[in-house]
Amino acid sequence: MASKNLISIEDLSRQDIESLFSDADDIRRFPESFGNALAGKIVFTLFCQPSTRTRLSFESAAYRLGARVLSVFDMHSTRQSLGESLLDTTRMAGYYADALIARHPDHGVMEQITETIDVPLINAGEGLGRHPTQTLIDLYTAREHFDTIDGLRVGFVGGLRYSRAAKSLLAGLRLFNNIELHAVDAANEADEGSPLPAALAAAAGRPIRLHASVQAMMGQVDLLYVVRVQREKFSDGALHQRQLDRCRVHRELLAKAPPWLAVMHCLPRTEELDTDVDATPQNKYFLQAAYGVPLRMAVLRRYMAASSVGGGCGGSGGLGMADAVSRRAIEVLRNDEPSLTW
Same domain, 40 and 98: yes
% of the chain exceeding 90 in pLDDT = 64
* Residue 99 structural domain: 9-127+291-333
**251 in Cβ contact with 283 (< 8 Å):** no
Q: Are 194 and 123 in contact (CB under 8 A)?
A: no
Q: 98 in a domain, yes or no?
A: yes
Strands 153-158 and 121-126: unpaired
22-to-3, 9, 144, 157, 176 alpha-carbon distances in Å: 19, 17, 12, 29, 17
136 and 122 within one domain: no
Q: Choose among 240, 282, 243: nearest CA to 265.
A: 282
> If you average pLDDT over residues 259-287, what whole number do you get?
96
Q: How confident is the model at residue 252 (pLDDT cuts 50, 70, 90)?
A: very high
Nearest CA-CA partner of 102 in 115, 79, 86:
86
Using CB atoms within 10 Å of the CB of residue 264, give its burial: 0 to 12 exposed, 13 to 18 middle, 19+ buried: buried
Edge-to-edge strands of the sheet including 262-265? 208-210, 180-185, 153-158, 223-226, 262-265
pLDDT tens for each residue of 16-52: 999 999 999 999 999 999 999 999 999 999 998 889 8
Q: CA quadruple 196, 201, 204, 208: dihedral positive or negative?
A: positive
| Domain membership flag for residue 339 | no
Q: What's 318's domain CATH number?
A: 3.40.50.1370
- The partner residues of 226 in beta bridges, in order of sequence, read 157, 265
Domain count, the chain: 2
Domain co-membership, 275 together with 297: no
In sequence order, the 6+-apart residues with CB closer than 8 A to the CB of 96 are 42, 44, 70, 311, 312
User: Residue 2 falls within a domain, yes or no?
Assistant: no
